[in-house]
């Protein structure tokens, strides 16, 4: 296993030709960091206007994914979900346009089975594949402190180090699909813990305690966590501007449950949180930050 971390992009001695497909909340800051590191970056987004600002940082904006990937050594995908990745690769002909032996690195969260299927199809075309989903949100993407969970061949993991070093800390966790398994495990912990923090803070408020002071009081004890600190503060401040959306958290939990069924694993706690996030999305909260589960739990308890 190998790790790499860099918080500040440095000019690379051997700049790579990179393509970034999908320049939304995560793709945008990640592409900026790769530009700052001295790589030659080509970008595509379904809505071109979201990619255009990257031109000011030195990226070349393309009208189609096939144009963006044509000369790339490594292609980074930050697309919405597995079906979209498959559509862009094989129906919009991005895979067919890639150079022989180029590396496709899927950094979005998709199903492990989908990742393995994509890897097999790309291998048949003479292309390499890594599934390398990330955790850390837009804050980590901006700062270059993402946790990157990587599945695939060791040699491909090693050749991607110049990319990883600009984005955060990468850990090779196994073969194709293992990166997505690790990300689902991460999202299970995040989603469940957000639920625990929201419920506990609302319980405290309902019982007459000051929610902000309770959060402060239990920090440093065994309840301490990054979720309590960051998401708990968002709950106290009622700041639910999206960093990671409720709808995306629900998608990840559903991917986790689907994968659990495939491998014969019982995940009852994840199932409970899946139902709660689903109710929140049904009640119009899908575009809130995933800490917005607090709003759904507050509604159930008649708390504002």
Instruction: Say if CB 286 and CB 278 are below 8 A apart.
Output: no
Average pLDDT score over residue span 192-207: 98
Render pLDDT for 83-118 as a digit per residue (tens, 0 to 9).
999 999 999 999 999 999 999 999 998 999 999 999
Average pLDDT score over residue span 234-254: 94
Render pLDDT for 263-293 as a digit per residue (tens, 0 to 9).
999 999 999 999 999 999 999 999 999 999 9
Sequence spans of domains, the chain: 17-174, 182-300
> Looking at the predicted structure, is the pLDDT value of residue 8 above 80?
no
Record the tokens describing residue 298, joined without a space: 């507050």
Render pLDDT for 216-233 as a digit per residue (tens, 0 to 9).
999 999 999 999 999 999
Average pLDDT score over residue span 118-129: 98
The question of whether 183 is a catalytic residue gets the answer yes
Structure confidence at residue 137 (pLDDT): 86
Render pLDDT for 135-172 as a digit per residue (tens, 0 to 9).
988 889 999 999 999 999 999 999 999 999 999 999 99
Structure confidence at residue 213 (pLDDT): 98
> Looking at the predicted structure, is the pLDDT value of residue 6 above 50?
no
Render pLDDT for 27-81 as a digit per residue (tens, 0 to 9).
999 999 999 999 999 999 999 999 999 999 999 999 999 999 999 999 999 998 9
CATH topology identical between 17-174 and 182-300: no
CATH architecture of 17-174: 3-Layer(aba) Sandwich (3.40)
Write down the catalytic residue from 50, 183, 206, 251: 183
Structure confidence at residue 13 (pLDDT): 59
Can you give the chain as a three-state secondary structure string? CCCCCCCCCCCCCCCCEEEEECCCCCHHHHHHHHHHCCCEEEEECCCHHHCHHHHHHCCEECCCHHHHHCCCCEEEECCCCHHHHHHHHHHCCHHHHCCCCCEEEECCCCCHHHHHHHHHHHHHCCCEEEECCEECHHHHHHHCCEEEEEEECHHHHHHCHHHHHHHEEEEEEECCCHHHHHHHHHHHHHHHHHHHHHHHHHHHHHCCCCHHHHHHHHCCCCCCCHHHHHHHHHHHHCCCCCCCEHHHHHHHHHHHHHHHHHHCCCCHHHHHHHHHHHHHHHHHHCCCEHHHHHHHHHHHCCCC
CATH architecture of 182-300: Orthogonal Bundle (1.10)
């Amino acid at each position: 296993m190998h790790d790499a971390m860099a918080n500040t992009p440095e000019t690379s001695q051997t700049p790579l030709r990179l393509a970034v497909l999908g320049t939304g909340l995560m793709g945008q800051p990640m592409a900026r960091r790769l530009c700052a590191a001295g790589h030659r970056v080509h970008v595509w987004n379904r809505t071109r206007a979201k990619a255009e600002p990257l031109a000011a940082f030195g990226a070349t904006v393309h009208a189609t994914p096939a144009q963006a990937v044509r000369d790339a050594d490594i292609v980074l995908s930050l697309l919405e979900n597995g079906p979209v990745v498959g559509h862009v690769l094989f129906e919009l002909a991005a895979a067919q346009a890639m150079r022989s032996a180029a590396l496709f690195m899927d950094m979005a969260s998709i199903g492990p089975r989908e990742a393995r299927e994509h890897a097999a199809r790309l291998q048949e075309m003479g292309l390499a594949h890594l599934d390398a989903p990330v955790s850390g949100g837009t804050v980590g993407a901006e700062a270059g402190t993402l946790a990157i969970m990587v599945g695939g061949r060791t040699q491909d993991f090693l050749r991607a180090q110049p990319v990883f070093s600009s984005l955060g800390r990468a850990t090779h966790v196994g073969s194709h699909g293992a990166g997505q398994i690790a990300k689902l495990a991460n999202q299970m912990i995040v989603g469940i813990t957000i639920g625990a923090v929201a419920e506990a803070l609302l319980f405290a408020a309902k019982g007459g305690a000051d929610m902000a002071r309770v959060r402060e009081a239990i920090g440093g004890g065994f309840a301490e966590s990054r979720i309590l600190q960051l998401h708990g503060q968002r709950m106290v401040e009622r700041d639910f501007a999206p960093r990671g959306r409720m709808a995306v958290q629900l998608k990840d939990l559903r991917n986790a449950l689907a994968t659990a069924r495939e491998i014969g694993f019982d995940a009852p706690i994840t199932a409970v949180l899946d139902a709660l996030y689903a109710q929140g999305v049904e009640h119009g909260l899908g575009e809130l930050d995933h800490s917005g589960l607090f709003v759904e739990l507050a509604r159930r308890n008649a708390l504002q």
